[in-house]
Amino acid sequence: MTDLPRHMRPPREPDPNIKMRPADLLETLKLVWQASPRHAVVYAATSLLSSALPAANLYIGKLLLDEVARAAQGKVTYQTLLTLLAVQVSLTVLGSLLSTLNSASQQLLGDSLQHSVSRRILDKASGLSVESFENAETYDKLQQAYREVGSRPLGVATQLVGLAGAVVTLVSVGALMTRLGFWVLPLVLLASLPSVYVSNRYGIETYRMLRRQTHDSRVQNYLGSLLTSDTLVKEVRLFGFEPYLLGRWREYYLGFRRQLEGMVRQRSAWGFAASLTSALLIGLASALILRRAADGQISVGDFSVFVLGIAQVQGTVSGFLNGLSGIYQNLLYMRNLFGFLELPDRDLDAGEIWHGEIDTIEFQDVGFRYPLTDRDVLKGVNFTVRRGEALALVGENGAGKTTIVKLLTRLFEPTAGRILLNGLDAQRFSPRSVQKQMSIIFQDFGQYQMSARENVALAEIERLQDEQGVESAVERAGASYVETLPQGLDTPLGRLFQGGRQLSGGQWQRLALARLYFRDSSVLVFDEPTAALDARAEFETMAALRSQARNRITFLISHRFSTVRLADKIIVLDGGIVTEAGSHSELLALGGKYAALYNLQASGYAGELEKA
């Protein structure tokens, strides 16, 4: 899949199984409230107050008009008019004050909310098992939750407050309008529905049309990219297939164009019908009002409430309906977020605390099956390894070597059999306390863009200031070059941040090795650590390791038999089953798979070393 050009890859679809839950609305509000009660209150209060302003403005406008009309007949003093004007100006000032407070509190609330939700996501992520990260569905949930954390929760909050505000506006403006006659408000409300309906419906249609076109437009883009590619231009010119590409590119365009025309035609027709219906309904409402005007029951001001109120009601209704669909969309995101936050944690501290060193590790009939799969990747694995011994795991890719390491290091628990530590079932003890006795270097070890000191001390961060400890680990790992860097151990490493020094692959690896040594543990695990080194460097590293690891238990995964042969015990895995076990010489004497593979590689090494 990754070989495809970027634009050819299928887009990520939202999870179709996610359903909105009304309870999430309450949960979201709780989240918003907890993020910053003060700003939430200010935001909600200013929004709701602002929503009542249109009605107040309409009313004051009406009074002013009426008074102006009466003034024409000489019945009103300048003083009265000025008082009304002052009220109107005060309303305007109040409006801008409210909107200033509103947007300031929204910004701060949004920031607090983003921080608190990110914090929850990160907290959750740090409590999740390794297993959850290896599960594609959970991982997608995490990524999506983290990507959209900035906009979605605040979106739900603002839309919800917006809905409440719309209700306030509709009720208050509506109350003014009912003074004009019982039928006026229902007619105005009704008149605003057709256009909202049409615009929503065609919004969805447009989205569906684009969805339908995704595949074809990817092909069209691809055809365009062939014509604009610098690497392909030679071939395209020589074979002269530009007209063919251009022709096909245009065919796709014409297809899209036909669909667009059909839709624009329909949308225009429905849009026109909607405006016509609205105009008729408004016309009907106007006729009803004018009849009352003719009867002398309605003033100029009342009529202005009607005329200006129509636009207000229509705008609010369409905002209300759009808000509803926005909330729906955002709540789907919130479901994803809550779904992620509700995932069970793995309590690494549950169980007795392991004290002291590990002297023996025994796998008894250990079997393992990854969650949500139907295949045992390990079956009946038995072995014992004691302090001072090194055990090597050999086997083809997928044989189960890394899985054994994951079980040993308590990242996963066996689904059959048991692992004994000093003769005691490992499950009795809290994974974290057992992990303290283990140190590991993975094939894809971390290259932390931090200082060299941190890169080493992360293995036991409480000892970050242990100068001697860090130096001795660095020395044992053959990573003394870090001390010659401009700021010694405090030199920032990596290219990601300003002033960082980049290291070579081998240098990073030695630093990871120093990290492994820094933790004073009784079990050392090397999961293909030397894959980046050439054969001779690997041999030297492993020989040095052997001398340093004598007092510990060492696990080693490697494809290089020159390294593997140094181990005291070698286990050959095939499809999750131990097929051969013994020392190097025993396995060679056995003449089985190990012997065959060893001899095959040994002849290759001889040639390689000769060349060097």
- Name the amino acid, one letter, at 148: E
Any contact of residue 399 with ligand ADP (CB under 6 A)?
Answer: yes
Rounded CA gap, 560 and 547, in Å?
19
Binding piece for ligand ADP, criterion CB under 6 A, among 233-241, 370-378, 381-389, 539-547: 370-378
Rounded CA gap, 74 and 71, in Å?
5
Write the Ramachandran bin of 557: left for phi over 0, alpha for psi from -120 to 50, otherwise beta: beta
Name, in order, each residue with C-beta under 8 angstroms of 392's C-beta and a sequence gap of 6 or more: 555, 556, 557, 558, 563, 564, 566, 567, 569, 570, 571
Any contact of residue 174 with ligand ADP (CB under 6 A)?
Answer: no
Binding piece for ligand ADP, criterion CB under 6 A, among 96-104, 356-364, 397-405, 537-545: 397-405
Any contact of residue 398 with ligand ADP (CB under 6 A)?
Answer: yes
Residue 401 Cβ vs ligand ADP, minimum distance, rounded to whole Å: 4
Which is nearer to ligand ADP, 369 or 501 (by Cβ)? 369
Q: CA torsion sign, 260 to 265 to 269 to 271?
A: positive
Beta bridge partner(s), residue 393: 557, 571
Name, in order, each residue with C-beta under 8 angstroms of 305's C-beta and a sequence gap of 6 or more: 58, 59, 61, 62, 176, 177, 179, 180
Which is nearer to ligand ADP, 323 or 395 (by Cβ)? 395
Binding piece for ligand ADP, criterion CB under 6 A, among 219-227, 288-296, 337-345, 369-377: 369-377
Which is nearer to ligand ADP, 420 or 577 (by Cβ)? 577
Residue 555 Cβ vs ligand ADP, minimum distance, rounded to whole Å: 12
Any contact of residue 397 with ligand ADP (CB under 6 A)?
Answer: yes
Which is nearer to ligand ADP, 405 or 477 (by Cβ)? 405
Any contact of residue 377 with ligand ADP (CB under 6 A)?
Answer: yes
Any contact of residue 402 with ligand ADP (CB under 6 A)?
Answer: yes
CA distance to 153, 165, 321, 523, per residue, from 328 (Å): 12, 18, 11, 52
Beta bridge partner(s), residue 419: 363
Task: Choose which of 28, 158, 403, 521 interacts with ligand ADP (CB under 6 A).
Answer: 403
Q: How many CA atoms lie within 13 A of 408 on its CB side?
A: 32
Residue 566 Cβ vs ligand ADP, minimum distance, rounded to whole Å: 20
Binding piece for ligand ADP, criterion CB under 6 A, among 154-162, 181-189, 221-229, 390-398: 390-398
Residue 109 Cβ vs ligand ADP, minimum distance, rounded to whole Å: 40
Any contact of residue 275 with ligand ADP (CB under 6 A)?
Answer: no
Any contact of residue 373 with ligand ADP (CB under 6 A)?
Answer: yes
Which is nearer to ligand ADP, 79 or 373 (by Cβ)? 373
Q: How many CA atoms lie within 13 A of 310 on its CB side?
A: 19
Which is nearer to ligand ADP, 137 or 490 (by Cβ)? 137
Which is nearer to ligand ADP, 149 or 399 (by Cβ)? 399
Residue at token pair 């603002």:
158
Any contact of residue 414 with ligand ADP (CB under 6 A)?
Answer: no
Nearest partner of 50 among 112, 96, 115, 4, judged by Cα: 96
Any contact of residue 409 with ligand ADP (CB under 6 A)?
Answer: no
DSSP-derived letter for residue 501 is B
Residue 583 Cβ vs ligand ADP, minimum distance, rounded to whole Å: 21
Q: By rule CB under 6 A, what count of residues binds ligand ADP?
A: 12
Any contact of residue 568 with ligand ADP (CB under 6 A)?
Answer: no
Name, in order, each residue with C-beta under 8 angstroms of 588's C-beta and a sequence gap of 6 or more: 594, 595, 598
Please report which residue ranges of 229-299 form alpha helices under DSSP H.
233-239, 242-294
Rounded CA gap, 240 and 227, in Å?
11
Task: Choose which of 323, 395, 414, 469 interacts with ligand ADP (CB under 6 A).
Answer: 395
DSSP secondary structure of 38-79? HHHHHHHHHHHHHHHHHHHHHHHHHHHHHHHHHHHTT-S-HH
Which is nearer to ligand ADP, 354 or 412 (by Cβ)? 412
User: Residues 97 to 136: which contact ligand ADP by CB under 6 A?
Assistant: 134
Any contact of residue 137 with ligand ADP (CB under 6 A)?
Answer: no
Rounded CA gap, 192 and 246, in Å?
46
Any contact of residue 444 with ligand ADP (CB under 6 A)?
Answer: no
Beta bridge partner(s), residue 395: 573
Binding piece for ligand ADP, criterion CB under 6 A, among 47-55, 115-123, 173-181, 393-401: 393-401
Any contact of residue 400 with ligand ADP (CB under 6 A)?
Answer: yes
Coil vs helix vs strand at 11: coil
Binding piece for ligand ADP, criterion CB under 6 A, among 57-65, 269-277, 399-407, 446-454: 399-407
Q: Which residues bind ligand ADP (CB under 6 A)?
A: 134, 370, 373, 377, 395, 397-403
